[in-house]
């Protein structure tokens, strides 16, 4: 049997690996990718001759998928955790501690916001439980509309936006409540009388477990191990151009006839390939927009006076060009051991792809100048690397949950077709791993099912 996996990012590689373990050595598994390398938006570059992730650099440690995968592949010794330092937020032209006890920056009490927002906003947060709340179960709205109405614009722009910008390369205005805050939406659906009560109900229980995890030598280690274990044929720099039904199986150009297909592709590519086999799903997928971003990695003299924090997030409306800084050598103990101090500057959000068109020199200058502004330190890079991510992240906009349900319903009866990827049920690496596993299970079950009589 021949199975095609379109998309060689983490979702596609996990699907290939799981299909190999389920179907055995005789299965002909082909991974097709339009890029010249595997990995999608996961990419480990080299800074100072040592690995550094220039895409995602962490995963949610409380989800089991990535640690379990590392264990299966004999890579448990690669699992690392952060040093535990907190980030700062640059708002109103100065640095503030990131509020604790919030859910994606949304507070459950006023005191956590003290110093970050003005006194009028503090009073508004404190009084919110006493204000009548109108919420329609099963409806959706953007995060900004909910948070600004209940707590004020400063909470949305100074506390929520910096965190959503890191996760989605978007903002509270472009992200839907149900997609980004399912626990809050569920609490409101269940009758929570205020946003304060809903956030309190949705907050995870206190835990000493690290919130995030990482891979010591970068995601390259995991990607390479998955590719090796999948024992697939990899065809890069080759886009899939057409998907059509065949009398038995599917025709996927340029590969030809295959028994099954996993589409582990960005939403627009998925929409194009589904156009003639599932037009309703294609229409829904076509409505998912993408954001673009840029990462500038700076290698600085080891004694550069960086703050003792994991990073610096930037509030909406500030004059800086960067949207965030990861102080990598402060955040990760294994990076602190290197000969230089490492910082990642991030640029670009949904609706603002301009940084992609800036020259490398301009991006490096912006990163250097903005980092100097937020730290007060002299920033004199030893080395700098620019990595652009055009269309890197799906926007989980208002109605996203319903849109994905429509896509999955419209493809449910397509025997031998499965979907995976960051646009479905989460942009984080664990969610992508889970989507690849689900797709592989669907394909394996369809191939092993008896043919209809």
Whole-model pTM: value is 0.95
Summarize pLDDT for 114-139 with one digit per residue, the tens.
999 999 999 999 999 999 999 999 88
Residue 420 has pLDDT above 90, yes or no: yes
- Gyration radius of the chain over CA positions: 23
Whether the predicted pLDDT of 109 surpasses 70? yes
Q: For position 206, what pLDDT does the model report?
A: 82
Please check the confidence at residue 453 and state whether its pLDDT lies above 50: no
Grade residue 451 by pLDDT with cuts at 50, 70 and 90: low
What pLDDT score was predicted for residue 450?
62
- Looking only at the bridges linking them, the beta strands covering 383-394 and 290-301 are antiparallel
Tens of pLDDT, residue by residue over 38-57, are 999 999 999 999 999 999 99
């Amino acid at each position: 049997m021949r199975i095609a996996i379109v998309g060689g990012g983490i979702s596609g590689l996990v699907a290939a690996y799981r299909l190999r373990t389920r179907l055995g050595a005789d299965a002909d598994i082909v991974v097709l990718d339009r890029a010249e390398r595997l990995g999608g938006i996961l990419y480990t570059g080299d800074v100072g001759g040592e690995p550094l992730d220039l895409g995602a650099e962490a995963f949610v440690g409380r989800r089991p998928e990535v640690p379990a995968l590392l264990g299966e592949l004999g890579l448990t010794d690669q699992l690392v955790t952060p040093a535990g330092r907190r980030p700062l937020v640059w708002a109103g032209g100065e640095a503030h501690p990131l509020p604790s006890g919030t859910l994606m920056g949304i507070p459950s009490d006023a005191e956590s916001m003290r110093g970050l927002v003005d006194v009028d906003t503090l009073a508004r947060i404190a009084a919110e439980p006493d204000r009548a709340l109108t919420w329609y179960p099963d409806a959706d709205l953007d995060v900004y509309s909910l948070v600004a109405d209940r707590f004020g614009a400063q909470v949305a722009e100074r506390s929520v936006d910096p965190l959503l910008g890191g996760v989605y390369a978007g903002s509270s205005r472009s992200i839907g409540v149900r997609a980004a805050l399912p626990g809050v939406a569920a609490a409101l659906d269940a009758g929570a009388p205020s946003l304060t009560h809903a956030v309190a109900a949705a907050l995870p229980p206190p835990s000493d477990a690290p919130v995030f995890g990482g891979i010591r030598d970068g995601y390259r280690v995991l990607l390479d191990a998955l590719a090796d274990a999948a024992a697939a044929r990899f065809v890069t720099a080759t886009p899939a151009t057409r998907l059509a039904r065949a009398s038995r199986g599917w025709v996927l150009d340029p590969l030809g006839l295959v028994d099954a297909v996993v589409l582990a592709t960005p939403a627009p590519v998925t929409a194009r390939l589904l156009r003639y086999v599932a037009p309703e799903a294609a229409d829904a997928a076509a409505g998912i927009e993408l954001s673009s971003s840029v990462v500038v990695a700076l290698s600085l003299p080891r004694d550069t006076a960086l703050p003792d924090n994991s990073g610096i997030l930037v509030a909406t409306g500030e004059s800086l060009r960067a949207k965030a800084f990861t102080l990598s050598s402060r955040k990760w103990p294994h990076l602190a051991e290197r000969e230089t101090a490492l910082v990642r500057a991030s640029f670009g959000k949904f609706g603002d792809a301009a940084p992609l068109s800036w020259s490398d020199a301009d991006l490096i200058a912006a990163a250097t100048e903005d980092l100097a502004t937020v730290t007060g330190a002299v920033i004199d890079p030893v080395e700098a690397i620019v990595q652009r991510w055009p269309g890197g992240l799906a926007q989980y906009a208002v109605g996203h949950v319903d849109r994905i349900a429509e896509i999955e319903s419209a493809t449910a009866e397509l025997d031998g077709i499965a979907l995976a990827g960051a646009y479905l049920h989460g942009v984080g690496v664990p969610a992508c791993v889970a989507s690849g596993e689900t797709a592989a299970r669907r394909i394996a079950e369809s191939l092993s099912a008896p043919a209809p009589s």
